[in-house]
Amino acid sequence: MQVLTHVREKLQFVGRQNAALVAQLGELDAQLLEQREELAGAKAARLACLARAERLCGSSTAVLDPVLRLDLQARISGRSHRTPTQTLNPKTLP
């Protein structure tokens, strides 16, 4: 009789533990779902930023080479421009 009572008490104890763990699992699942939604939003924002950066780099007219910059400025202003190699090379002079 004592063994049967012990087994019943143990079963109730394990049932209460299981219920507590199930509740904890539900909370953790809710947190995980929330974090996954945040991650999806962050990934979408990142992709939008990458697309914008790609678009800006593609349409950029920044010229970093000094020779090319001088040539571009000359073309914009409508005057002719000689590159440093043309200036130094006597064969290209008029």
Half-sphere exposure of 70 (CA within 13 A, CB side): 7
pLDDT in tens, 41-73: 999 999 999 999 888 776 666 667 788 878 878
Closest CA to 9 of 71, 17, 94: 17
H/E element holding 42? Answer: helix 2-58
Q: What's the pTM value of the predicted model, to 2 decimals?
A: 0.50
If one compares 23 and 69, the residue with the highest pLDDT of the two is 23
